[in-house]
Structure 1
Amino acid sequence: MKCRNIFSFKVYKPKLYLPITTHKHYSRGQALSLMDTGSASNNLGRDNMERKRCIFWLPKKNRFCSNSPLNGSSFCGNHSSRSYEQWIPCPIDPSHSVLEQNLKGHVKRCPLLKQAQSLSLQPFYQKGINAGSDGEEQEEEERLGVDGSRLPIMTVSSEMKRNAVNKMSVTEFCNLIDKIESLHESLCKDIQDSFQMPDVCSLWIKTRVEERKLPFQEKHISQQASIVGNLENIGVLKKSLGRKSSECEEADEEEEDSAPAVIEFGAGRGYLTQMLADCYGIERVFLVERKSYKLKADRSLRQNESLMLERLRIDIEDLDLNAVESLQGVPFVAIGKHLCGAATDLTLRCCFPPKNRKDNSEPCNAKSNFGGLAIATCCHHLCQWKHYTNKRYFSDLGMTKKEFHAITWFTSWAVDANHGSESDLPDTSDCRSHLQSIKEQSNGYANGVEKVIADMEAAKRASLGFKCKWIIDMGRLMWLREHGLDAKIVKYVPSTISPENHLLIAR
């Protein structure tokens, strides 16, 4: 007898809705040619009206933006043209902008509001303590919003800096370049190479390579080792600390002379600190970083039972070192390899409490808990006049805030392409002869500075960019010396490894 399966069900097969692929894909060149010929409104417009998507071309993804356009526009909110008078940085997180009239409502529902509130409750949080409050930036009055509320001073973006440079006259531009050449020639003398590779670091690297435990590119190894080696050269780190205390008869005596705490600013994943802790037996480590990262070195560091590790998740601008309970009364060494732009200036201020800064009328006592520092400067195009430590230095050189921002923008030319080593670039005489020819032909540049820059050779732009980097860093160096520190600036790796090869060291 054949049994009927009472548990048989009809299988439901849902319909599969495939994405619409009828719209035509344009290459970047095709898109630009269509726009140039004026047929973009007929071709791109009709095509994107059908699929209702933004027509902004994304070259890296080789496609158009997939966001929905704004009403009455062919572009989405991210790619529509913005007026800097209407869009302002969010006071909670300046990485995104909001319309000025929407600011009051946005700050109540910003996705990062809860995170910012929790971070602000930390005992060592003090809003803007390291932002630069020496009184010189009071010229930048805070703007009033539409509702009468005070708005934060807008960060000067690279685009705004470029536009300001392009608005210069050809004569003003040439005079500024000539001033940069003269300043570099007089200020940046006898800068030495200091490529270090301590024996203890070399042994550490060899072991890691053999065990395949290097979670980063090998070029970072030489940078980290040289930073550590330069600290050792100025006497901040003791060579004998590379050995275990049980192997050193006088370890206890020498540990008393060493800095028992290391603070890595802009720590990221913390691999610079890991090399320092493994090679020199550091006992206390503080990692300062405002973002969260995966694959951090923390797990490996915590396996060392003799090491005390503390990660401070906070913006350097708001960090009060005096309020860190476990750091009170403890000498420290400050290090940093990822301090982009103004982060270097924020770190320098952070190392010295406000009462110990030269800005104030009180006596300067910078060496209270400070043991030394080694900071690799980079991304000078992100520097801001508001945060720069030594505004007086630029003012004494006859430089204005506008010229400072122009100089910071010029620094991007040093790293925008492969120009070989810095020593292969044109010298000052070549650049000045080029400037003279521009001045003589100033009437021929109808399009102004933008045309002058476009006609400059890439090598000459790169040479100018490197000189601007040195001028900015020399101001920081002088600021450290004004605080009674023995400070200098060196090239810590060859420019073939990284064009960002300036290292500020002090004790």
Structure 2
Amino acid sequence: MAALEAAGGGSGSEAGPLPGRCAFFVQRKRRFCKMIPAPGRRFCGEHGQQEVPHPGVRGGIGSCPVSPDPYSEIQQERRITVYEDQLQKHLKKCNSREKPKPVSVNSALESEYELQHTLNMSFATYVLQKQKHLKPLLKRSAFVLLSHQALQEALNDPKNGDSAFKHLKQQASILGNMEKLHLLGPGRCFVEFGAGRGKLSHWVDTALQDVENIQFLLVERATTRFKVDGKHKKRDSIFERLQVDIQHLCLNKVPILEKKKLPVVGIGKHLCGAATDLALRCLVESYATCCNEENEEPAPKRTKNKAEGASNSSNGDDNERNKEDFKPVAGIVIALCCHHKCDWTHYVGREFFRSAGLGPVEFHYFQRMSSWATCGMRGTITKASTNEESEDHTNNTEDHDQTYSKTEAGSDALQGLLTVEERKQIGSLCKLVIDHGRIRYLQHRGYKAALQYYTDSSVSLENVLLTAVPETTS
């Protein structure tokens, strides 16, 4: 029983360790360890710290200091042990060590503290007054309900259920808007942000089945089952996936875009909250700026020969014209979603907010009250059917609506002070203010941007589409 005392154990079902086995008594399993110790040792490598090394024997074994709670009873069998003379070498490669955090290349430079305030009536009144001041500056979204022939067969297929039909109608309208903006053409790379299973890219590929020199980049931070990807292997289109958070994505470093300097079209279906702002900054600041810097060339040298000079001048004009025609970002088409998940740190419209005398505190409440836009639909919202379409990363929009109708709208102290219709109007205006800041951001960077309702509210409560194309200089 000496081994029991050495290990701090008590009386168990075994009188002692098995011959040639470790003498450590495992309290959780109520038995001795069955590991085989090294010759001349009583304890195995995991429990070697129980034994004091003899002179001339290698140093003792201890627990790794960076492993999670190595001395807790729960972790007793999972802790990391290492020889004392090897500790420093182990710490350099230990999986439990603190790893450097990736740089957020698409976040704003400045950071703000997280705000935790209670939404009370006095502040709500103040925000509502601010809304009335902003209302004349805001342009209401137009109704542009379009479709595309690439989805007609699927839309007429009776095998598709209601949920799949709603997704198809949204995708058809997004493609119709892309066609209206002349974005469905050759020589382009379509980057789908928050791609999920990549259904939007799939339909863009179907619409461009006779077009050459196109490629697709599907950006998704979550792991997902790639059921749709198999359909692309039979086509000549180039599809590539990136599992990365949008805030860490630098498009000009993606090999497929370094190889082919193709204009990019950013697309997305229900890109939640701050993901939209990160995607806009990724396209407009990170990628477009880097491409413009790479395309800058020194002016052609002057020549003495008049004929050669005229020829060189003509070539120079052609080069300048080609540089002007090349637009790193050919267009942006993103279906907006979940404004209550926006974040002031990532928000691209902060300049617009500040110009209106607003700041992070006001944005916090605009963000929260944006969920009121759907609070009037609580009684009619039903849970989405569990078909393969609902497996998308973004999920069914109705799921989003139901979630924050029950949380944000139901938890606020103002719920009983305003009617459902008043809350819906306030929430819709909050969403419009946040989206207008995004429009201003794109306009200040040389884009013709607009907001439009791309589908009916009976199809999706999140039915606003943000579009942007470069302003023409001619």
TM-aligned CA deviation for residue 189 of structure 1: 2.8
User: Matched residue of 1:384: which SS?
Assistant: coil
* Pair 1:374–1:420, CA change in 2 (3 A): farther
State the match for 1:268 in structure 2. Answer: 196
Alpha-carbon contact 2:150-2:203 (below 8 Å) kept: no
Q: Structure 2: where are the runs of 5+ without partners?
A: 1-90, 297-323, 381-410, 470-474
| 1:464-479 → structure 2 map (5 Å cutoff) | 464-479=426-441
Q: Deviations over 1:90-137 (max 9, x none)?
A: xxxxxxxxxxxxxxx9xx877xx99x98xx9xxxxx62000112xxx2
User: Matched residue of 2:371: which SS?
Assistant: helix
Q: Deviations over 1:14-52 (max 9, x none)?
A: xxxxxxxxxxxxxxxxxxxxxxxxxxxxxxxxxxxxxxx
Q: Distance in 1 between matches of 2:139 and 2:155?
A: 34
User: Matched residue of 2:125: which SS?
Assistant: helix
TM-aligned CA deviation for residue 354 of structure 1: 3.6
Q: Distance in 2 between matches of 1:370 and 1:233?
A: 17
Aligned partner (choices 201, 215, 225) of residue 284 of structure 1: 215
State the match for 1:293 in structure 2. Answer: 224
Alpha-carbon contact 1:132-1:386 (below 8 Å) kept: yes
TM-aligned CA deviation for residue 205 of structure 1: 3.6
TM-aligned CA deviation for residue 316 of structure 1: 0.4
Q: Structure 1: where are the runs of 5+ without partners?
A: 1-104, 121-125, 141-152, 239-257, 422-448
Q: Using structure 2 for the length normalisation, give the TM-score.
A: 0.60
* Pair 1:215–1:463, CA change in 2 (3 A): closer
* Pair 1:504–1:215, CA change in 2 (3 A): same
User: Matched residue of 2:333: which SS?
Assistant: strand
| 1:217-256 → structure 2 map (5 Å cutoff) | 217-238=164-185
State the match for 2:254 in structure 1. Answer: 324
Amino acid at match of 1:289: E
State the match for 2:458 in structure 1. Answer: 496
| 2:326 maps to 1:396 | no
State the match for 2:77 in structure 1. Answer: none
Amino acid at match of 1:230: N
* Pair 1:352–1:214, CA change in 2 (3 A): farther
Amino acid at match of 2:227: K
State the match for 1:175 in structure 2. Answer: 126
Alpha-carbon contact 1:263-1:287 (below 8 Å) kept: yes
Q: Deviations over 1:200-222 (max 9, x none)?
A: 3324543xx26x47896210111
| 2:241 maps to 1:311 | yes
TM-aligned CA deviation for residue 455 of structure 1: 2.0
Q: Distance in 2 between matches of 1:313 and 1:499?
A: 28
Amino acid at match of 1:384: D
TM-aligned CA deviation for residue 415 of structure 1: 2.1
TM-aligned CA deviation for residue 499 of structure 1: 1.6
Q: Distance in 1 between matches of 2:237 and 2:161?
A: 21
User: Matched residue of 1:493: which SS?
Assistant: coil
TM-aligned CA deviation for residue 295 of structure 1: 4.9
Task: Give the root-mean-square deviation of aligned CA atoms.
Answer: 3.4
State the match for 2:328 in structure 1. Answer: 369
TM-aligned CA deviation for residue 355 of structure 1: 7.9
Q: Deviations over 1:238-263 (max 9, x none)?
A: 5xxxxxxxxxxxxxxxxxxx342111
* Pair 1:418–1:216, CA change in 2 (3 A): closer
User: Matched residue of 1:455: which SS?
Assistant: coil
* Pair 1:355–1:259, CA change in 2 (3 A): closer
TM-aligned CA deviation for residue 420 of structure 1: 10
Stretches of 4+ aligned residues off by more than 3 angstroms: 203-206, 212-216, 353-358, 365-368, 449-453
How many aligned residue pairs are there?
313
TM-aligned CA deviation for residue 187 of structure 1: 2.5
State the match for 1:51 in structure 2. Answer: none
User: Matched residue of 1:389: which SS?
Assistant: coil
Alpha-carbon contact 2:119-2:413 (below 8 Å) kept: no
Amino acid at match of 2:181: I
Alpha-carbon contact 2:340-2:370 (below 8 Å) kept: yes
Q: Distance in 1 between matches of 2:335 and 2:105?
A: 22
User: Matched residue of 2:218: which SS?
Assistant: strand
Q: Distance in 1 between matches of 2:413 and 2:238?
A: 57
TM-aligned CA deviation for residue 376 of structure 1: 0.8
Rg comparison, structure with higher value:
2
Task: Determine what percentage of the aligned residue pairs are the same residue.
Answer: 32
